[in-house]
Copies of this chain bind each other. A is one copy, B any other.
Amino acid sequence: MEERVLEMKAEVLKALAQPTRLKILEFLRNGERCICEIVPAINGEQSNISRHISLMQKSHLVSTRKDGVKVMVKVKDPKIFEILDSISIVLKNQVSEQSKLMRSL
């Protein structure tokens, strides 16, 4: 695979690979939300959340639009949630592997 494509893939993955950002994305599963809703919902610092959202925007994970004073955020591609769900499955598989090992003691 092309070096540039790998870098782009890594960039998308990196944008996903952070707990606060995952928390924001999970909150956005129910659709578009205002930053002013996100901040209290995930119990974060306003400036920190703002930076995480602008990072995800640069990585094309989310898009924003102004609505008066507010900034509305939404996940651009629902496939992102499929990826998050796949990660959950991988984690579950890892844990069940662990359990299997434990049972064989």
Contact = CB atoms under 8 A, between A and B. Distances in A.
Interface of A: 1, 3, 5-14, 16-19, 22-23, 26, 60, 76-77, 79-80, 82-84, 86-91, 93-94, 97
Q: How often does this chain occur in the complex, in copies?
A: 2
Nearest to A87: B9
A87 B13 CA distance: 8
A80 B90 contact: yes
By Cβ-Cβ distance, the 6 closest A-B pairs, closest first, are: A13-B17, A14-B17, A6-B19, A10-B19, A17-B17, A60-B94
A86 B87 contact: no
A77 B80 CA distance: 20
A87 B60 CA distance: 12
A22 B10 CA distance: 7
